[in-house]
Chains A and B, each alone.
Chain A
């Protein structure tokens, strides 16, 4: 451990009690053990750190803003690598921006906006989340029609567990994007940018019965101009003061939607963010993200209604967000229901520590052993 002090300046290395306590946790209920905390600012420091770590048999937990709710940055007696000081925007052109992983998304969005450009991935936590975390978890934004962040990455520069510096693009991105930091440390990300948001119009449909809702969904999903379909249950629609019925909010990329006025659309754009804050304010603190196959969606909505669980979701992706009060027994029951309905649990947010037991993927283990055979990154997260 002593040698770390040669790699890092004094203010970038800590074994202080306060740091060991605070870095043991993230946004989840899990708690780990911290050996030390380091704050690298250059890729050379990261490379030296990995080399030293290997010779001293240490392992690392990589951390951005630490807002993950599944324990993806909870250490297991490891050295925590806090990347938040790698927060420079390196280069911006008319169609791409290159950044370090610790850049806070809202700061990046501000800079992009200044240049009159647009970056489509903006999750609820955009004011605090780091872009490194966004890539590691392969997040969605609030506007679901842009898909996951993987669609907007041109190139990554990483250091893997073999201490090789790699430039990654194309299909190989899968080895690092969404791997929750288990295969390497990202030190530079090149994002694709758009000149402006894609055009859209919106229609809102209200229903009293599930069958009427499914019938409408079948109809709209055949329209190839439909980009996304949001589902809101009675709870969520009443939280938003849109009456108290089942809602489908359908977005089109042409003028098929009823709401065409830019001002009204901008108002609707904020509704997902507003809804999530309202849900938290009503003390529904735990949110899940199961995937439900289309044929079983009616049964799933019935179960939600029977147990009075507020829920919203993305019909076209089959991803739903049922919301639970703190330590509700229904939360664990959900996993069984999802299994019965042939769904899967890690639909959107990732796996971390919390869902590892419900999820095993031999493909991920192969990628892991390829890039990090001695398992020095994020032990206990995603895969064992």
Chain B
């Protein structure tokens, strides 16, 4: 469990929150979702830049990669991720392009 004090000082350091302006897409929102064991797909909004860890006065590390594993367990993967995996399996690249189409 993340030991977040929910002061909110991380919010404006988050480049995604600054654009989306939604509490559930802020680092504090992610920490609250973890406390409530609700691993929503909004956790995929994170860009993994770690700015929140740097700006947190308590030095909390959200470890978003681990939280996303839990999203997978609870809610399955997102549409974009499942498409990427399918493309990797079929074409060997995430874009769904066959090798012949690649232009150098």
Contact = CB atoms under 8 A, between A and B. Distances in A.
Interface of A: 14, 16-19, 21-23, 25-27, 37, 39, 65-67, 69, 82, 84-85, 87, 102, 104, 106, 125, 127-128, 277, 280-281, 285
B52 to A, nearest CB: 12
A39 B9 contact: no
B23 A23 contact: yes
A22 B12 contact: no
Contact of B12 (A25, A37, A106, A285): A106
Interface residues of B, number: 25
**Leading 9 A-B pairs by shortest Cβ distance:** A18-B40, A22-B29, A18-B24, A67-B8, A22-B24, A22-B23, A84-B21, A128-B12, A280-B57
A14 B23 CA distance: 12
Given A18-B24, A66-B23, A104-B12, A27 B40 contact: no
A41 to B, nearest CB: 10
Contacts of B23: 19, 22-23, 37, 66, 82
Contact of A16 (B11, B21, B24, B26): B24
Given A17-B40, A67-B8, A127-B12, A280 B58 contact: yes
A276 to B, nearest CB: 9
A67 B23 CA distance: 11
B22 interface: yes
Interface of B: 5-13, 21-24, 26, 28-29, 32-33, 36, 38, 40, 42, 55, 57-58
A285 B5 contact: yes
Contact of A82 (B12, B13, B21): B21
Given A66-B8, A67-B8, A18 B58 contact: no
Nearest to A326: B5
B75 to A, nearest CB: 11
Contacts of B22: 14, 19, 39, 82
B60 to A, nearest CB: 12
Nearest to B8: A67
Nearest to A105: B12
B38 A65 contact: no
B24 A19 contact: yes
A18 B21 contact: no
A285 B7 CA distance: 10
Given A17-B38, A22-B32, 20 more contacts: A16-B40, A18-B24, A19-B24, A21-B24, A21-B32, A21-B33, A21-B38, A22-B29, A23-B24, A25-B32, A26-B8, A27-B7, A37-B23, A85-B21, A125-B8, A127-B9, A128-B9, A128-B11, A280-B58, A281-B57
Nearest to B58: A280
B36 A21 contact: yes
Nearest to A66: B8
A280 B5 CA distance: 11
Nearest to A86: B21
A105 to B, nearest CB: 10
A277 B12 CA distance: 17
Contacts of A285: 5
B51 to A, nearest CB: 12
Contact of B8 (A18, A65, A106, A281): A65
